[in-house]
Amino acid sequence: MDIGLVHRNEYKVEADKPEHLSVAEAPGRVHFLGEQGGADAILFLSAAIDRHVKVSVSARKDSSLRFFASDLNERKRSTLVNLKYRREDRWANYIKVAIHAFAELGFTVKGLNFTVCGNIPQQVALASSTAIEIAAAMALRGYFSAKISKKGLVEKLAGSHAALFGKNARVADYIIGLCAQKDHFFIVDESARKVIKKIKSPLTDYSVLLIDSRVPRMGEESEVELRLADTKKGLGLLRQKQAGASFKDFMAYDLMELMEDFPEKIRRRSMHIIQELRRVHDTGGALERKEFPAFARTIISSHESLRDLYEVSCPEVDWLVKRAQESDSVAGSRMTGSGFGGCTYTFIRSEMLEEYKKRLEEYERIFGFRPIIHEVKLAAGSRSVLAPGRVCADTAHQ
């Protein structure tokens, strides 16, 4: 879709005046390891994927803020004075986060038109909402010719999201969405708000399949909150042994001995978090050494821990992961996201892709859901597509 053309048609922007239009895009992302456990579980193995959201922005003659989602054919509106979260504004709230960020930076925000479109799969934890925020921020960066770096945008977007939504966003999602590089994995330390390692993918002969299980996710949020509460209690008990510590400080301990007096449920949750931190490091090392069997074992171990210790998987997702493990062409499979349904990822040799898809036909017969399969690649982070008056290929990751 040519979002520039759609935008011009929607808002009657003159095609011969490109200085009036700024366009940017931002990718979805996959957390391959490390996304459970809240703010205290701080390491992620992640990458951006080649599914994107695009946002365009142009000036209005009045002080209104107008939003158009071309994929949905939906329109919303607001003003800077009334720039706040409104449940009925749904997707437009994420554009408001970017507007708030630039207003906080001191830019004069008057009337603006926005258009958004994208192809990131929805409701399967691929950060489509964060991508809207980032694409809108990058479009505004081009519109204002702002000098703010991508690292600076991470901080501003995180602060504005908290201000509008009343809760913190995953900072790691902003870091990956803004700063990822094509064909690279990133290890992100969320507490330090930085990438601590980037790894060129050695899996050049493999495709990445994202498989949406299509399992209805009823009660997911309350279950996630219960597990976050359990991990918080676990960290509190650990801090009785070492004041001020984080989960990361216990990675080298004998966990069975360390937690032998913990309530069983708290022990399981805490065990998963600390072992997952170890797995992030181990998997990064396996990728650097091109040790594919070790990589696959660690990924599978992570899924088993999510199933047995953190208890956020379900039979349908377990079946998809187990089915993948039966193939010698697979280098790791695991659920991704908060769990209770959702999506799995599988690294599979490209020449076996079609044969593997046929194997999944059995899933619908057993469970009654038809899975949706997305083939993706590791992609670069956000970029400006069109800046006022010029075409701009912004690939810097400063």
- Catalytic residue numbers read 173
**DSSP 8-state class, residue 385:** E
Decide: residue 88, CB within 10 A, 0-12 exposed, 13-18 middle, 19+ buried: exposed
Buried b (16+ CB within 10 A) or exposed e, 170-206: bbbbbbbbbbbbbbbbbbbbbeebebebbbebbbeeb
Residue at token pair 């700063």? 179
Q: Contact, 346 vs 153, CB < 8 A? A: no
Contact at 8 Å (CB) between 374 and 121? yes
At 124, list the tokens: 């399967």
Contacts of 73 (CB under 8 A, 6+ apart): none
Sign of CA dihedral 21, 27, 28, 33: negative
- Give the number of residues written for the chain: 398
